[in-house]
Amino acid sequence: MAFSLLALRVKFITYFIFVSQFCFLGCNWEKNSDTLILHITNRSHSPIDSIVIPYKETKVKEKIEAGKTFTIKLDVSQFNSGHEGFIPVFLYQNKKSFSGQFGFHDWGVFAEKEEYIYLFDHGINYKDEELKKPIEMNLLLIPKTSLGIDSIEVALSVLKKKNINATYTELILDFELFEKEPEIKLYQKGTWYILKVDHNWDNWNNTQEIIYVYENGIFSKKNL
């Protein structure tokens, strides 16, 4: 009997310690979770001109020189989201923009309280490592006319894969080879048209283009 009481007392003390620690950590997390901390480090060779975070219209116009780090503390105490997602962030440099994301959340609960973004010459990385040049380029061709697309001509050395869907055609292309000559031929009702793809090849975060195909060789990145 005495042994049972002793064992029960030990279990109670252990439980009390566990609950106390859990409450302390939990309460401390809730307090700190009102603020997200984002560190942005400039690993490129040019200054970052400005930073824009659409949430709460947060804007930083202070230049961030090469090699420097800027820290943003974002109040998320009133953050309300009924789904999972990220908070977008845009870095502007020499009339170019780089888009990234941070603050993964699910139903308003954030997975991390402190995060890091690194800007290199060719884009954003989430670890302090230079980006590798992409291997593939994804090109989506979406017909916006009843004429459709009869055929597509791409150099075999460039084309890695072609997926034909009822509403679009997907081309998987060699990034480096297509960069040298970024054009393909489209055949539409007896006429060949040349599509020259306008892409920012310096931004290695972006490896996709969506092109809407209209009649008479009219191509657009916008759904007109």
Tell me: the pLDDT tens digits for 114-171?
999 999 999 999 999 999 999 999 999 999 988 889 999 999 999 999 999 889 999 9
Q: Alpha-carbon distance 194 to 170, whole Å?
A: 17
Total H helices, total E strands in the chain = 2, 17
Mean confidence (pLDDT) of the chain: 87
Flag whether pLDDT at 70 surpasses 50.
Answer: yes
DSSP state of 48: B
What global pTM score does this model have?
0.78
What pLDDT sits at residue 146? 86
Token duo for residue 61: 């116009």
Q: Residue 67, Cα to own-chain centre: how many angstroms?
A: 23
CA-closest candidate to residue 70, choices 44, 39, 37 = 39
Planar angle of CA 94, 100, 103, nearest 5 degrees: 140
pLDDT band at 46 (very low <50, low <70, confident <90, very high): very high
Token duo for residue 132: 């590798």
* pLDDT tens digit sequence for 172-213: 999 999 999 999 999 998 899 999 999 999 999 999 999 999
Q: Alpha-carbon distance 215 to 76, whole Å?
A: 48
3-state secondary structure of 20: helix
DSSP state of 154: -
Please check whether residue 204 is in contact with residue 133, taking contact to mean a CB–CB distance below 8 angstroms: yes
